[in-house]
Amino acid sequence: MVRFVPASAAFLAFAFTARDVAAKPEFVARLPNGASVPGVEALGHVNPEGDGARNQFGKDFDKAGRKWTKALCAMDSDGDGQTNGQELGDPCCEWSTTGTASVRWTEGVSHPGLSSKKSDPSLWAAIDCSGGTGMSNAANSTADNGDAGSAPTTEKSGSAPVKVSASLVVVAVAVVAQMIATAVA
């Protein structure tokens, strides 16, 4: 007969529901290179893994309706002298979740919420943004970048990556092993 100790059951329930904090995929997808900033999962939070207090970029993103707009792109949320677009590979503020324009680069992006992190200006030095949709228009505009930042309608519900703390997994496995050993004995 299997003995199931209530404390073990409670611990297992906790172990399999306790997750490391991770950025919300729908917000990551609403930003150019949202998943490409080294060491950062949640660009809008003080904690780079997400949750808790927002940094200035997170506050600006919230004010922009939680989407990438020309105005948000043209801002310098962290005050480091680089626009949010320059830091995220969209110096001309052309990127959108539904448009055909892609980011100009994916390597060398930096955190638009940390002034200590900057992108290399040579990445955009030769890019001409005067084509009518770029930074020269964005700096004076509060207009939305079309459907920029709209959550994709084909996004699968529940597709968020789940991170379980390794120590919790080890303990959970040990508890299950103990339960099996007790059941066999």
Query: Of 117, 146, 134, 118, which is closest to residue 73 (Cα–Cα)?
Result: 134
Same domain, 141 and 75: yes
Same domain, 63 and 140: yes
Q: What's the pLDDT score for residue 8?
A: 54
- 48-76 pLDDT, tens digit per residue, is 888 899 999 999 999 999 999 999 999 99
Same domain, 10 and 40: no
Same domain, 126 and 54: yes
Q: How confident is the model at residue 126 (pLDDT cuts 50, 70, 90)?
A: very high
- 110-120 pLDDT, tens digit per residue, is 999 999 999 99
Same domain, 126 and 180: no
Same domain, 138 and 172: no
CA distance 4 to 39: 41
Q: Which of 25-34, 79-88, 124-133 has the lowest mean pLDDT?
A: 124-133
Same domain, 178 and 97: no
Give me the helices (H) in 22-83, please.
25-28, 56-63, 70-74
Query: Of 26, 21, 11, 70, which is closest to residue 45 (Cα–Cα)?
Result: 21
Same domain, 97 and 171: no
Residue corresponding to tokens 């638009």: 112
Q: Is 175 helix (H, G, I), strand (E, B) or coil?
A: helix
Q: Calculate what percentage of the chain has a pLDDT beyond 70.
A: 61
Residue corresponding to tokens 């808790």: 52
Q: Which domain holds residue 179?
A: 1-18+165-185
Residue 147 is which amino acid?
Answer: D
Question: How many domains are contained in the chain?
Answer: 2
